Structure 1
Amino acid sequence: MKHISILVPKGAILGSLEGSRQLFSQVNEFYKAKGLDPVFEVKLIGLSKETLVSGGLFTVNTDLLIEDVEKTDLIIIPAIDGEMQSALEKNRDFIPWIVKQYSQGAEIASLCLGAFLLASTGLLNGRKCATHWLAENDFKRMFPDVQLVTQKIITDEQGIYSSGGAFSYLNLILYLIEKYAGREIAVLSAKVFAIELDRENQLSFTIFQGQKGHEDECVKKVQEYIENNFSEKITIDQLADMQALGRRNLERRFKKATSNTIVEYIQRVKMEAAKVSLESSRENVNEVMYKVGYTDNKAFRTTFKRITGLSPIQYRSKYNRSIMA
């Protein structure tokens, strides 16, 4: 039987905590219905017997404290809310316990913003990790040694797992159920809980925020110019001249400040504008393409799909209600 420790951090988001418990517990019910022994021993593990979660709206009663658990097979770190630095400080006592359990062979899965607590252990350094796309800039700033992949729903790095934003944690739990209990049980779980199985990325949900959490004023001015003039043809030499900088110097500073090259940033701004048009207007794809400054149909469609995971037509069909009316 697999021992599953679902952590109850202070300030946890109740949904991912309880959702995980329900899914793993339901697998046991499937096995019992077949006259078989349960496959999971699911426990809520905390720093105290009672823990306030979801901004203090709910209290979770834990089964065990961390000092009561000598060994576990899988640790689930649910999403946490609030200001991240403060949330991590409140939950720092989990860190040595998580590291110890991993050294003893336990696997670890972070759900959504639980990635911040997992990254605080140092176990993610040099590895890929997913989290909510809204937290991309903060995560990169706080954990530069972790390879953040915000497009992914799930990452699997040698027994360390993570999920993307919000309810995509359900896909990671199904992934783990399939690993431990088989595909048939995972499919049954997906059907019972009405979860879309095998989703691979969260690109179509992402809204590009622009990385402004830095102190380089020249780069900020370049970002603002790009965002205000995305429909025009913008060259790197032009941007460098505007700031009286050499091209290579600007490119280096821009990449350091935003984690994007200038070309990538221009593309993401253009694609964000295209997404808004496709969501809210009746303009056809070519009209949207010209509106955001593209003249090459193939280049526009290729870039759009790479950034959103969908073709422009697929994106419009999915998100534009007026088209369906």
Structure 2
Amino acid sequence: METSAPPIEALIVAVPETAGSALYGMVDVLASAGNLWEELAWTDTPYHPIRPRIVSPVDAPFVCGNRVPVTPDQFVGDDPSADIVILPELWLAPDDDLKGRYPDVLDWVRRRYHAGSSIYSACSGSVMLAATGLLDNKEATSHWGYEDLFRTRYPKVRFRPEPPLVFADPAGRIVTAGGTTSWHDLALHIIARHVSPGEALRIAKVYLLKWHSEGQLPYAALVRPQPHADAIVRRCEEWLAEHYRDAEAVTKMAAIAGIPERSAKRRFKVATGTTPINYVQSLRIEEAKRQLEAGSVSFEKIAADLGYENLAFFRRLFKRSTGLTPGQYRRMFRPFMEAGGGTLRGP
């Protein structure tokens, strides 16, 4: 395909917390649209429909995550324009909301959106996007590890941990992508939307990029420690971690806590954000996942080992929590165990 149209300007934000692999991976893939497949397959005249460049709040070279060197092409202080603005993955702690940092970047992103730019974020880049306020009262996603951060620090954002991409508005001008390598999905979406679906398919073939149609649920840890100061609830969590197979786990937990069961359930929910029964079920599903990954024992035996007599109920619970049937989960993750010869996670 030959075209005389000017390239689409895509500015990718880089700050010291930016993950270098996501930053330069996005630059590389977007710059290859229209030319890499055409050159390798000799199918058409190469062209460059997208021009990706790096924009930064500092007008000088610096290093980002894991000391990857960055030389910005544009300076936020110059208020550069762009058709596309991308906020890639950041190295952030699960409770780091970025508030108070990079106000010039946040102001620039807001101006670009109101000027008509399409705004995209990948993984924890959505934390920076949330800090702009552009996600308020809208749906968004990020890595599943930031779900609690969004719930507590950005409660106006309707966080969805399941899908690889979430469209915040009907026009698709704000799109967030999920976990770490979901920038692959985002790059393919950008190429499909701004160049053509056919070109996105060709780029996927060249780079062997896989669309994560299964979403994020199969990868998510269902049990994550929540910081809180309730010593009784902490004792309950520790007891449940050892006795989650017990059919009367919740009732016995309350006895261990030394307070009425109703009070124990209420305090547990306030401290952890989930109910004791949901916590127990999550522990059981995590153990089922571990056994599916590590061995060939049947799901029926796994369910019985975890105290479930109603196999159909546990199968439905497993799929609702992971997005996959037990068989699909085993087929997806068993090859990692066969290749590595070890255990991926503990119970």
TM-score range, shorter chain: 0.7 to 0.9
Relative distance call for 1:255 and 1:108 in structure 2 (3 A) is: farther
- Segment drifting more, 239-248 vs 190-199: 239-248
- 2:157: which partner in 1? 146
Indicate which of 252, 263, 268 corresponds to 1:254.
268
Secondary structure at 2:54 match in 1? strand
- What is the aligned partner in structure 1 of residue 23 from structure 2? 17
The whole-number CA distance in structure 2 between the counterparts of 1:288 and 1:32 is 50
Q: For residue 242 of structure 2, what is the aligned residue in structure 1?
A: 228
For 1:109, what is the secondary structure of its paired residue? strand
Letter aligned with residue 197 of structure 1 = W
Residues of 2 paired with 1:316 and 1:149: CA distance?
Answer: 24
Equivalent of 2:105, from 94, 98, 103? 94
Provide closer, same or farther for how the CA distance between residues 28 and 92 of structure 1 changes in structure 2, counting only shifts above 3 A: farther
Distance 1:161 1:98, change over 3 A: same
Quickly say closer, same or farther: Cα 1:31–1:192, change in 2 above 3 A: closer
Worse-matched range after superposition: 198-207 or 2-11: 198-207
Residue aligning to 2:142: 131
State the shift of 1:304 in Å.
0.8
**Contact preservation (8 Å) 2:14, 2:56:** yes
Residues 1:212 and 2:218 are matched in the alignment? no
Deviates more, 1:21-30 or 1:296-305: 21-30
Give 2:27's aligned amino acid.
R
Q: Distance in 1 between matches of 2:11 and 2:50?
A: 10
Structure 1 equivalent of residue 83 of structure 2: 73
Quick one: structure 1 residues 318 and 4, their matched pair in 2 at CA, closer, same or farther if it must change by over 3 Å? same
> What is the SS of the residue equivalent to 2:35?
helix
C-alpha contact (below 8 Å) 1:282/1:323 kept by paired residues = no
Corresponding residue SS for 1:125: coil
List gaps (5 residues or longer) in structure 1: none
- Say if 1:187 and 1:197, in contact at 8 Å, map to a contact too: no
Q: 1:86 to 1:269 in 2, by over 3 A?
A: closer
2:133 — aligned with what? 122
Tell me how far 1:88 sits from its aligned partner. Answer: 5.6
Question: In structure 1, what residue type is equivalent to 2:333?
Answer: Y
Q: Is the 8 A contact 1:212 1:220 kept in 2?
A: no
AA matched with 1:271: I
Structure 1 length normalisation: TM-score?
0.88
What TM-score, normalized by structure 2, do the two folds share? 0.83
2:122 corresponds to which residue?
A: 111
Identity across the alignment (%): 24
User: Structure 2 counterpart of 1:4, which letter?
Assistant: A
Contact 1:110 1:162 in 2 (8 A): yes
> 2:3 corresponds to which residue?
none
Residue 313 (str. 1) matches residue 324 (str. 2): no
Q: Output the CA distance in 2 between the equivalents of 1:175 and 1:90.
A: 29
Q: Tell me if the contact between 1:317 and 1:323 (Cα under 8 Å) persists in the aligned partners.
A: no
Shift of residue 169, structure 1, vs aligned partner: 1.4
Q: CA deviation at 1:215?
A: 2.4
CA-to-aligned-CA distance 1:143-202 (integer Å, 9 cap, x gap): 233222222211111122212221121112112221222211111111011011352402
After TM superposition, the structure 1 stretch with the greater mean CA deviation from structure 2, 189-198 or 83-92, is: 83-92
CA 2–245 in structure 1, closer or farther in 2 if over 3 Å, else same: farther
Structure 2: gaps of 5 or more residues: 1-6, 342-347
Number of corresponding residues? 324
Cα offset for 1:319?
A: 2.1
RMSD of aligned alpha carbons: 2.8
Alignment of 1:243-282 (within 5 A): 243=257, 249-282=263-296
C-alpha distance in structure 2 between counterparts of 1:222 and 1:135, whole Å: 24
Q: Which range moved further: 102-111 or 241-250?
A: 241-250
What displacement does 1:60 show? Answer: 0.8
Please show how residues 20-59 of structure 1 align to structure 2 within 5 Å: 20-29=26-35, 34-35=44-45, 38-48=48-58, 49-55=60-66, 57-59=67-69
| Residue identity in the other structure for 1:226 | L
**Matched residues in 1 for 2:299 and 2:259: separation?**
37
Which secondary structure state, in structure 2, belongs to the residue aligned with residue 320 of structure 1? helix
Give the partner amino acid of 1:208.
Answer: L
**1:141-180 aligned within 5 A:** 141-158=152-169, 159-180=173-194
**Residues 29, 218 of structure 1: CA spacing in aligned structure 2 closer, same or farther, 3 A cutoff?**
same
CA contact (8 A) 1:12 1:79 kept: yes
Aligned amino acid, residue 59 of structure 1: P
Note the C-alpha offset of 1:31.
Answer: 9.6
Counterpart residue number, 2:70: 60
